[in-house]
Amino acid sequence: MVMVTDLFERPIRDLRISVTDRCNFRCIYCMPREVFGPDHRFLPREQLLTFSEIATLARVFVARGVQKVRLTGGEPLLRKGMERLVEMLAAIAGVDDLTLTTNGSLLARKAQSLVDAGLDRVTVSLDAMDDETFMAMNDVGFPVAVVLEAIEVASACGLGPVKVNCVVQRGINEHAILDMARHFKGSGHIVRFIEYMDVGSTNGWRLDQVVPAAEIVAAIHKVFPLEPVPPNYPGEVANRFRYRDGSGEIGVIASVTQPFCGSCTRARISAEGMLYTCLFASSGTSLRDVMRTGGDVARVLDEVWEKREDRYSEDRSAHTPRLVVPVEMSYIGG
């Protein structure tokens, strides 16, 4: 294995691959329809990485110590033939944890074939338990029940325990905190409440729209007493808590109030093959162009990673007001 570390001694451990910048939802915090409207130009097909290009890149990352690979988007299940990509990635020796993040809209019908192809787990996003709030947040009128069914089907197919991502926005879905905790307590699924982040430039993020993780934990603890659980592994992004009555656990991802850049070992590849070394990066490196011109991807990756000094969340105060425009969440995939 080739060991490469960045300027803060962080190795590359996780790889997130976005397979499309398209989505069938218009979540208000991610792809607001005023910006991602009918005139929005998504990437043309020839600019997307092919499955074999994705597998080639994954092998280079695995040779540098990556064990966890997450497929994301946009909505990854919109990309045709995802089972084939999953099969190709699952076949790479060294990929120990192959996961996918989805909005759940197409998951129920694809879960079994994804398991058969070698997918290990899924994360499903769900921001509320009531249709009124959820439909307003996904902004396409998509109902809660379909996502809940997808979670159950995925779990029954062996993709569990399912992690359920809930982005909390002040004044929009704070009530979902207790609703979600109540619904998933005892189900075996793990809800992860995510602080609303200032990713991209289109969601009009304001600090006062963030519900701090500590407040989320306190609200649940008041009704369903919780206690902290040590991380599963060093650098785990979610802070874990379990219900004192033994009925499961929750996680909170406090990227705004308790940044975790010091242990950030994630690399991200966009659907068109740009390498980003931070979720908040404003520029990346086209590994696709390196591949398509016969260049040495491994060398370029090592050069980029060795110079990496990202710690955006820890530096957030210094970045306000913004001097640079970061890339969008729907493009980089979270």
Site string for ligand SAM, 22-41 (x = CB under 6 A): -x-----xx-----------
Determine, following the binding rule CB under 6 A, whether residue 62 of this chain makes contact with ligand SAM. no
* Angle of the 297-306 helix axis to the 51-62 helix axis, nearest 10: 50
How deeply is 190 buried, as exposed, middle or buried, from its count of CB atoms within 10 A (0-12, 13-18, 19+)?
A: buried
Stretch that binds ligand SF4, among 41-49, 211-219, 221-229, 274-282 (CB under 6 A): 274-282
Determine, following the binding rule CB under 6 A, whether residue 43 of this chain makes contact with ligand SF4. no
Least distance between ligand SAM and beta carbon 305 (Å): 23
Interface with ligand SAM (CB under 6 A), residue from 15, 154, 191, 199: 199
CA distances from 325 to 56, 260, 280 (A): 30, 21, 9
Determine, following the binding rule CB under 6 A, whether residue 279 of this chain makes contact with ligand SF4. yes
Interface with ligand SF4 (CB under 6 A), residue from 12, 23, 85, 115: 23
Per-residue tokens: 283:
């520029």
Q: Decide: helix, strand or coil at residue 41.
A: coil
Containing 303, the helix (H) or strand (E) segment is: helix 297-306
Interface with ligand SAM (CB under 6 A), residue from 20, 155, 173, 203: 203
Buried b (16+ CB within 10 A) or exposed e, 262-300: eebbbbbbbbbbbbbbbbbbeebbebbebbeeeeebbeb
Measured CA to CA, the distance from residue 204 to residue 231 in angstroms comes to 32
Determine, following the binding rule CB under 6 A, whether residue 270 of this chain makes contact with ligand SAM. no
Q: Which is nearer to ligand SF4, 266 or 288 (CB)?
A: 266
Which chain residues interact with ligand SAM by CB under 6 A? 23, 29-30, 72-73, 75, 101-103, 125, 165, 167, 194, 196-197, 199, 203, 329-330, 333-334
